[in-house]
Structure 1
């Protein structure tokens, strides 16, 4: 498979390192509007064909698929061009800034018959797949209650009184005017997928509360108005009638990048924790419930999103998570923004 890398920023390095380990994959070209980023990236990974625009790369066209790692707001227009050119697409999350644009991408991809996947990173966690298997087996019975969280502390580590520490491109993540939907838009899609994939149940109703905390007087640094949400809470009902809370924050001191899922059924419970330190899956079921005994469960490695995308292109068989799945998650994220303003519950 001949692969074009679209966007050569920081995340592109993670993608390139993953793809270069997969047999049969050649990274044959790269695109970026910033010449120095493009040159450094291509020199690092031995990529000969370098383009300053997607149009130039498509005019060349000697590749099978595109890895779209552009900024969030650019996924939609670039992906539509790639699909129109007959190329398979592996796209970073979120698929688009809102559900309407995401569905345009879904419809274009499905009409084309091309392979389309979204890089929901935590599908690479073996313990998440094992948790899904355990829940589907009925070991913990019918799922009744869910608690899920995605915690980061990078805002708690910032000194907003020190101007020298406030430089850098990260400020866009705090500003709606610079394309950010805050925590709910950045990592909300991950914890929604983490939860619904594990329990095998979609969200059918929800309400939410978002909060933006003051960081500096006037909530502004230069051109950046700091108005994007820092923390969110979603109260959800799932298709089988279970209820749960899903929450996230960038102010969670002591948690660099941690996910936790707790699922309780009428025959037992399951707890999954994942972070930079690794993963821990525990189950309390059967006779262990009476004694509150939790037992660790090991998981065998699973294929990564990158591997499954390559396999899908080679075989022509669509793999998950696809564009439609990502769009359905985007619908919930959009509703979270609306529900916070209206203080109402919404059916999905």
Structure 2
């Protein structure tokens, strides 16, 4: 039985707790949260027997086998490094760290210590994503020529996720001073991983433009400027010769949380749509390319990222998505900020 510790008790921590609690061979043993009231509520809600307000105390206690790091982005590095030093397998939320050098240091530390280190790029657990990758690897599309990918949200337009104009809980997504990397840092890492994984190619050059728009009358909440990017467009060159566009926006009216990926090759093409847990994969290949006929592809269930992590802890072998993969993605994201600042196309 793998005994899990949950570090952090924010919105995503509840998802971690539910996923691990429902995973065979896993039990929730402890939680860590610096705010005692939130800690007590979280532990009661998920029937977690032990709670700590300090990570060092939890590590000294030591009655757990692995940890899920669901702290704010800026806290991932120091807390994960403590867990790695203690020899604890870590399942960290994305992004792995705020910057590429910190992510690289975490990956190196995990490798040197020999601990399982994985990142929750949870869309890897989508059946459509894994089936699409299999089709590309099997050569069903021929040589990949073009990639088009989008991550679309609209909570700045609608009230379906709450009111960002009055709720301070959105500041981590809207204010650079609050630690936000904007839509690029929040969901850009997901769509970049999605597109490049399915295409089976890594980015080798990028040119990125991003923008923050005035929000509300003064563009502030509680003294914080709402200045983090809300839309980005990235032009990408891939190591297999393909080119493509990857973009995301929080202003995509009509979409709550949608990802769309299209991969075009010399023999065929595929389209993936994922919106609010509904997913479809369509293929146009063989003789269908002459009539532009698209056919839906059946996608069998696959193992989710949470379950993959528990398997990795049991075997001692890190599975994907790993710290190394998250570090490679963070390198691209860092270059996007540099490209936006300078206007240059940069080599990855």
Q: Same fold (TM over 0.5)?
A: yes
Which residue pairs with 2:294 in the alignment? Answer: 294
Q: For each residue in 1:230-249, what CA deviation from the matched residue of structure 2 results, as whole angstroms up to 9, or x when unmatched?
A: 10000000001100000000
Q: Take 2:8 and 2:53, find their aligned partners in 1: how far apart are those partners?
A: 10
* Aligned-pair CA distance for 1:223: 1.5
- State whether residues 263 and 271 of structure 2, in contact with CA within 8 Å, keep that contact through their aligned partners in structure 1: yes
* Aligned-pair CA distance for 1:133: 0.4
Q: Take 2:30 and 2:102, find their aligned partners in 1: how far apart are those partners?
A: 27
- In structure 2, do the counterparts of structure 1 residues 47 and 164 end up closer, same or farther at CA, with 3 Å as the change threshold? closer
Q: Take 2:67 and 2:270, find their aligned partners in 1: how far apart are those partners?
A: 38
* Aligned-pair CA distance for 1:158: 5.7
Please give the secondary structure, in 2, of the residue aligned with 1:309: helix
1:127 matched to 2:128? The reply is yes
Q: Take 1:158 and 1:98, find their aligned partners in 2: how far apart are those partners?
A: 32
* Aligned-pair CA distance for 1:339: 0.2
Please give the secondary structure, in 1, of the residue aligned with 2:319: coil
Q: Take 2:3 and 2:316, find their aligned partners in 1: how far apart are those partners?
A: 15
* Aligned-pair CA distance for 1:165: 4.6
Runs of 4+ in 1 over 2 A off after TM superposition: 216-222
* Aligned-pair CA distance for 1:216: 3.0
Q: Take 1:24 and 1:172, find their aligned partners in 2: how far apart are those partners?
A: 34
Which residue pairs with 1:87 in the alignment? Answer: 88
Please give the secondary structure, in 2, of the residue aligned with 1:187: helix
Which residue pairs with 2:44 in the alignment? Answer: 43
* Aligned-pair CA distance for 1:172: 3.0
Q: Take 1:87 and 1:339, find their aligned partners in 2: how far apart are those partners?
A: 37
Please give the secondary structure, in 1, of the residue aligned with 2:274: strand
Number of paired residues?
345
- In structure 2, do the counterparts of structure 1 residues 92 and 168 end up closer, same or farther at CA, with 3 Å as the change threshold? same
- State whether residues 79 and 105 of structure 1, in contact with CA within 8 Å, keep that contact through their aligned partners in structure 2: yes
- In structure 2, do the counterparts of structure 1 residues 16 and 158 end up closer, same or farther at CA, with 3 Å as the change threshold? closer
- State whether residues 172 and 224 of structure 1, in contact with CA within 8 Å, keep that contact through their aligned partners in structure 2: no
Q: Take 2:305 and 2:151, find their aligned partners in 1: how far apart are those partners?
A: 20
Please give the secondary structure, in 1, of the residue aligned with 2:5: strand
Q: Take 1:335 and 1:220, find their aligned partners in 2: how far apart are those partners?
A: 27
Please give the secondary structure, in 2, of the residue aligned with 1:100: helix
- State whether residues 128 and 279 of structure 2, in contact with CA within 8 Å, keep that contact through their aligned partners in structure 1: yes
Q: Take 1:245 and 1:300, find their aligned partners in 2: how far apart are those partners?
A: 28
1:206 matched to 2:206? The reply is yes
Which residue pairs with 2:256 in the alignment? Answer: 256
Give TM-score, length-normalised by structure 2.
0.97
Q: Take 2:297 and 2:164, find their aligned partners in 1: how far apart are those partners?
A: 46
Q: Take 2:259 and 2:329, find their aligned partners in 1: how far apart are those partners?
A: 17
Which residue pairs with 2:305 in the alignment? Answer: 305
* Aligned-pair CA distance for 1:221: 2.8
* Aligned-pair CA distance for 1:110: 0.5
Please give the secondary structure, in 2, of the residue aligned with 1:229: coil
* Aligned-pair CA distance for 1:65: 0.6
Which residue pairs with 2:78 in the alignment? Answer: 77
Provide the aligned C-alpha RMSD in A: 1.4
Please give the secondary structure, in 1, of the residue aligned with 2:57: helix
After TM superposition, the structure 1 = structure 2 runs for residues 43-192 of structure 1, keeping only pairs within 5 Å, are 43-157=44-158, 165-192=165-192
Q: Take 2:166 and 2:66, find their aligned partners in 1: how far apart are those partners?
A: 38
* Aligned-pair CA distance for 1:44: 1.6
After TM superposition, the structure 1 = structure 2 runs for residues 268-283 of structure 1, keeping only pairs within 5 Å, are 268-276=268-276, 278-283=278-283
- State whether residues 158 and 165 of structure 1, in contact with CA within 8 Å, keep that contact through their aligned partners in structure 2: no
Please give the secondary structure, in 1, of the residue aligned with 2:97: coil
Please give the secondary structure, in 2, of the residue aligned with 1:287: helix
Which residue pairs with 1:225 in the alignment? Answer: 225
- State whether residues 3 and 63 of structure 1, in contact with CA within 8 Å, keep that contact through their aligned partners in structure 2: yes
Give TM-score, length-normalised by structure 1.
0.97
* Aligned-pair CA distance for 1:323: 0.4
* Aligned-pair CA distance for 1:222: 2.8
- State whether residues 165 and 216 of structure 2, in contact with CA within 8 Å, keep that contact through their aligned partners in structure 1: no
Which residue pairs with 1:341 in the alignment? Answer: 341
- In structure 2, do the counterparts of structure 1 residues 86 and 164 end up closer, same or farther at CA, with 3 Å as the change threshold? closer
* Aligned-pair CA distance for 1:168: 2.7
Please give the secondary structure, in 2, of the residue aligned with 1:166: coil
